[in-house]
């Protein structure tokens, strides 16, 4: 339970980037209001079982995305990116809603990519900014 609340607070602070008293208070309230989710549960969800391994892998991708976001932001300041494209990326359709949310968060966290849509057939539509035309 405590790890779930801490995880939710970390996601909240990554999304808001504000450590003010009001924002911390709002984050704690939201972390407590959201329904409990136990990654160690043996019950299968509608979309399959989430494994701790999958959660740790996504967490690793989040930690990698933070310096990548800064790097991409500096690149965009120095060399403007003028070409856009929308790419469909495959996703395992049996992934849980939590893992789909975390995938979307990691992709959208970087400045050059935004998930435009997720369709339930197993695809993300991702909008990319490129410096040169592909």
Neighbours of 74 (CB within 10 A): 11
Amino acid 72: pLDDT: 87
pLDDT grade for 36, boundaries at 50, 70 and 90: low
pTM over 0.75: no
pLDDT higher than 80, residue 126: yes
Tell me the per-residue pLDDT of 47-81, one tens digit each, with 9 for 90 and over.
445 567 777 777 888 888 888 889 988 988 888 88
| Residue ranges of domains in the chain, CATH in brackets | 1-36 (no CATH), 44-130 (3.30.1370)
Give the CA distances from residue 115 to residues 6, 28, 40, 82, in Å, rounded to whole numbers and listed in that order: 25, 27, 28, 18
Give the CA distances from residue 7 to residues 2, 12, 54, 65, in Å, rounded to whole numbers and listed in that order: 9, 9, 14, 16
pLDDT higher than 50, residue 43: yes
């Amino acid at each position: 339970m405590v790890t779930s609340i801490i995880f939710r607070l970390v996601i909240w602070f990554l999304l808001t980037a504000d450590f003010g008293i009001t924002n911390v208070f709002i984050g704690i309230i939201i972390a407590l209001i959201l329904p409990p989710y136990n990654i160690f549960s043996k019950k299968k969800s509608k979309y399959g079982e989430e494994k701790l391994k999958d959660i740790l892998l996504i967490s690793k991708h989040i930690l990698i995305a933070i310096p990548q976001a800064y790097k991409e932001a500096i690149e965009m300041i120095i060399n403007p990116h003028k070409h856009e494209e929308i790419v469909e990326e495959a996703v395992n359709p049996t992934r849980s809603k939590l893992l789909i949310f975390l995938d979307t968060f990691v992709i959208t966290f970087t400045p050059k990519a935004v998930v435009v849509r997720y369709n339930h057939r197993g695809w993300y539509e991702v909008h990319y900014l490129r410096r040169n035309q592909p």
